[in-house]
Structure 1
Amino acid sequence: FRVSSVACSPSNGINCLTFLCCPYTLTVSRNAALQGVFGGGETPKPLKTGTTIAGVVFKDGVVLGADTRATSSEVVADKMCAKIHYIAPNIYCCGAGTAADTERTTDLLSSNLSIFSLNSGRNPRVVMAVNILQDMLYRYHGQIGANLILGGVDCTGNHLYKLGPYGSVDKMPYLAMGSGDLAALGILEDGFKPDMELEKAKQLVQVAIHAGIMSDLASGNNIDICVITREGVDYIRPYQESEFKDNRKMRYKYRPGTTPVLTEKVIPLKLEVVKETVQWMDTA
């Protein structure tokens, strides 16, 4: 992180010493100062995005998982949004953040790796995809709202990476990102073991995503699972329906008068009568 400070004076609208630890904080403080100087304008409100994505490295490969809810402010825009994106035959990527940014970023990465495969005749390595993504995200300094979990299998083994919108990279045996990541990470930390079997890894990712869904309103609906091994890819969509509309067990009918009327007020409706005269015209 980069630490800097802004001097305070009444002229620039800042009345105290503010310590800035990241470019996002710098932008927020700058917008607040400009609003105080010019007045009358309003700074843009922060965009709230919601997702729960997770990944686990097991004995023979990588398991990726994601929910399927896409939100626009307080509205559920899509209940079957695909958040696990194809990158290469041996690499897949989960995206959290702005839907357009994650889809466009993964499409560009997939196109670059397809050209590499056509020229070389072999599948790309996972670290190659990570380096391309890191350069792409760092170039825009956080303007691309994409938080990605990249998983794949190549000649060097099984790999799972996390990439932030500023280009930061972490490699871990289990990961979770999105607005429901705290609950998902709690499940992953408690249940992860090295060299897990496939069914145990799938169950762990499913429970982690479900925990994120239950603790976050912006995550929900179904759970998708993608299993990547040397033998191939098994993309299960949907793997589980976490939220669905329940059927009513009985019909509820109440007799008139069950709810008492406490007060009653009648407002007469005033109508304006308009008279129109129609004259027939001979058009023959």
Structure 2
Amino acid sequence: MQHPSQATTLTPDVSRLKAGEMNLGTSIMAVAFEGGVVVGADSRTTMGSFIANRVTDKLTYLSDRIYCCRSGSAADTQAHVVTAQLSQYEMTHGEKPTVHIAATMLEGIIYQNKDRLSAGIIVAGWDRIAGGTVYNIPLGGGLFSAPWCIAGSGSTFVWGYCDKTFEPGWNKDQTLEFVRDTLSLAMSRDGSSGGTIRMAIITEEGVERVFVPGDKLPNYGGDRV
């Protein structure tokens, strides 16, 4: 019989991160309304427990009236190659790409490199065929269309709020308020999300950027830095 002092101590491996990989976080969101979409994100970039940037712009231009929101590794979510491909598409076909085409291009890159990239993307915008549309591309690939989408570490805290609060048929102002309030709630609960909120209203008329500083956000009881 083995003496208690000689017993092997088992240490559970609770980390799912690869060697040298940082634990990153964010809160991103997109919601479609009649005539367009609203995209939004917090502005905190983290490296583990270290806040690397408090005012990051996570809304990335892809093409005319098409943007993406980025979560995961900041380096892995850079979408410059897709922007170049969409520009080439417009020159080749003589027409602007749709939101679905942009989302499909990004999804292809993420799926083909699913073992190398840590990237979760929301693609949203307006085009003349489908109007305002939202596509979710989770880690590892996949393409899902929905009237609204949230992602990032902060999203786990607000799924229930979104399910209960969202109503089809909202106008632009109601949708903008919904995105602001949802992201503010996520930021108050998720330690890896914070800073300010950057939003963009995308319609046939163009893109309107909206900035909400941290001290102007609804306060749900959490301190923001």
Same fold (TM over 0.5): yes
Unaligned stretches of 5+ residues in structure 1? 1-27, 32-42, 245-284
**Number of matched residues?**
202
For residues 1-284 of structure 1, the aligned pairs below 5 Å read 44=19, 47-103=22-78, 106-157=79-130, 158-236=132-210, 238-242=211-215
Distance 1:242 1:100 in 2: 29
Structure 2 counterpart of 1:170, which letter? F
Aligned-pair Cα RMSD in Å: 2.0
Q: Given the superposition, is the C-alpha separation of residues 242 and 115 from structure 1 closer, same or farther in structure 2, using an over 3 Å criterion?
A: farther
Distance 1:49 1:96 in 2: 8
Unaligned stretches of 5+ residues in structure 2? 1-15, 218-225
Structure 2 counterpart of 1:203, which letter? E
TM-score by length of 2: 0.84
SS in 1 for 2:76: helix
Deviation of residue 184 (structure 1)? 2.9
SS in 2 for 1:109: helix
SS in 2 for 1:162: strand
Tell me, yes or no, if the aligned pair for 1:63 and 1:225 is still in contact at 8 Å: yes
Tell me, yes or no, if the aligned pair for 2:120 and 2:137 is still in contact at 8 Å: yes
Rg larger in structure:
1
Runs of 4+ in 1 over 3 A off after TM superposition: none
Distance 2:157 2:136 in 1: 17
Larger RCO, structures 1/2 (Cα 8 Å, 6+ apart): 2
Distance 2:181 2:50 in 1: 25
